[in-house]
A and B are shown apart, each in its own frame.
Chain A
């Protein structure tokens, strides 16, 4: 709370944007004028009283899909990012605290995974395992966690050299306490900042996957998928796909405004 009061205007704007999106996502069924899949008109209708933002490529109400899309997009991205952070941070912290061969082993494995083109890696896994939401989440989380690992390890290394960690070691504390109570709270700002960035990348990544025919199961709406489905219209001067794209951009900018603030806090810790 104290932090909030001291936060700069930009962070507050970001917070409002994110909160707005979350509220829309949670109350989607109450807000949306139509259901996610209902066909309400012709294809790519202009904005009208019937459908406030027009209709999509199947004649579904764009606004409703946008609202439900917020739900799917945010939930999916959130779960995926959480998962990647859980695994990436845990491994990164262990590597930093334990050091030695464990660190070397983990880091080399991560290096190797990172050496493969992400999209192609995902493509291979998804084409083999099928693109159910579960597999989608796990795959992206795994690919993402490599980058989280790197950051978590680097940040933890910085913290690990601090005397208070040595104090804990000298006290005889175990790995869990050191990771959870000594390192994690101090790594938080950097991790939160990265969380924001990763979070945004996840739905862009899903959009890329759906471009290649993988991605979220239709008829579920996700913003990236919506851009993809309607993208053909743009070359004919129909601006329907700009709307979900703008939604993505809006949320990304919002998240990044908060991220910037946290980065600022993170840098403050080192000074």
Chain B
């Protein structure tokens, strides 16, 4: 077998194994959550009688391992079960929300990744100049603000003051793509502020690291233009750390945006998960937990595989 393919398969296998282990942990962990579904769902309305009735209706008295097995086999077949709280199909609850989450994540990524990679390259190009320092301090200040605060500031500016973008991003399926993009621009900008600093700093560091290499000096001594050196010689070799940091931030965009969802009334998966945790809606928590974990793991896996492919040493190893 060709080594690089073998490596990729091995990596993928590892990812798959991790997901299986995680599914078990999620199941056990969620089962162990103290507090009762019935009480949590009924809230202040829970009385002895109503709680008992609720428990019975949901067959909570079945042993856990039986429920795990049923859950896992159903999950593989795409049947995520029904919400305990309102009896809806979990897949129906999660499906379009996950699509929304991805939509927001991708919109953000489309702005943030080119922006931060470009800024990172420029900062590396003009390193230790005023420009570099200004970018560095600005991006740093952005990550120093809590994200809800950035969101409020953006809303105050762009919706309340100038009324360019809506303060709510409650997109729905009847909207056109352009309308959706218009609606999610503010949340996407907020998230951009949050992730750009990290990606930009990493890109800058990676490129500067590479700039110390002998082959960069060689390129300079060949009389190559500085911009070309950064783009052609430094950047391809700093891809691996950049890919990794991008993957990490993409994962964050998918799994970590609860607050932005709340502030912008965005119907994403995060809000669903938070609600379900507080209501102990076990099937929803398990399914969305697993989807989040899966997203994280596959992104990391993709980053690793891309890094392998970006490295000619690994890519070409089948020929030598």
Contact = CB atoms under 8 A, between A and B. Distances in A.
A and B touching (C-beta < 8 Å)? yes
Interface of A: 10, 108, 111-112, 114-120, 123-124, 127-128, 200, 204, 207-208, 211-212, 224, 227-228, 231, 234-235, 237, 241, 245, 248-249, 251-253, 256, 260, 263, 267, 271
Contacts of B306: none
B156 A231 contact: no
A128 B153 contact: no
Interface of B: 18, 21-22, 25, 29, 33-35, 133, 136-137, 140-141, 143-149, 152-153, 155-156, 160, 205, 209, 212, 255-256, 258-259, 262, 270, 273-274, 277-278, 289, 292-293, 296-297
A114 B256 contact: no
B308 to A, nearest CB: 18
A231 B18 contact: no
A260 B139 CA distance: 14
29 contacts: A10-B133, A108-B18, A111-B18, A115-B22, A116-B292, A117-B296, A120-B258, A120-B289, A123-B274, A124-B33, A124-B277, A207-B146, A211-B146, A211-B262, A212-B259, A212-B262, A231-B148, A234-B152, A235-B156, A237-B156, A241-B152, A245-B145, A248-B146, A249-B141, A249-B144, A252-B144, A253-B140, A260-B136, A267-B209
B153 A234 contact: yes
B148 A228 contact: yes
Nearest to A128: B34
A117 B257 CA distance: 9
A115 B18 contact: yes
Which 10 residue pairs are nearest across A and B when measured between Cβ atoms? A252-B144, A117-B255, A249-B144, A207-B146, A115-B293, A115-B296, A249-B141, A234-B152, A235-B156, A211-B148
**Residue of A10, A114, A116 with most chain B CB atoms under a 10 A cut-off:** A116
A117 B148 contact: no
A204 B198 CA distance: 15
A208 B18 contact: no
A244 to B, nearest CB: 9
A252 B262 CA distance: 25
A234 B149 CA distance: 9
A128 B35 contact: yes
B146 A235 contact: no
Nearest to A120: B273
Given A235-B160, A245-B145, 7 more contacts: A114-B296, A115-B296, A117-B258, A123-B274, A212-B259, A231-B148, A271-B212
Nearest to B294: A115
B146 A245 contact: yes
Nearest to B35: A128
Nearest to A210: B146
Given A112-B18, A119-B258, A235-B155, A208 B277 contact: no
Contacts of A120: 255, 258, 270, 273-274, 277, 289, 292
B259 A208 contact: yes
A191 to B, nearest CB: 16
**Residue of A108, A112, A123 with most chain B CB atoms under a 10 A cut-off:** A112
A227 B146 contact: yes
B33 A118 contact: no
Contacts of A228: 146, 148
B223 to A, nearest CB: 25
A116 B22 CA distance: 9
A236 B153 CA distance: 11
Nearest to A201: B143
A263 B209 CA distance: 12
Nearest to A223: B146
Contacts of B35: 128
A260 B127 CA distance: 13
A249 B256 CA distance: 21
A11 to B, nearest CB: 13
Contact of B145 (A10, A117, A248, A251): A248
B303 to A, nearest CB: 13
Contacts of B155: 235
Contacts of B146: 204, 207-208, 211, 224, 227-228, 245, 248
**Residue of B137, B146, B256 with most chain A CB atoms under a 10 A cut-off:** B146
A7 to B, nearest CB: 15
Given A120-B273, A123-B277, A234-B152, A204 B297 contact: no
Nearest to A233: B152
Contact of A116 (B21, B148, B293): B293
A230 B35 CA distance: 32
Contacts of B278: 127
Given A118-B256, A253-B140, A235 B152 contact: yes
Contacts of B270: 117, 120
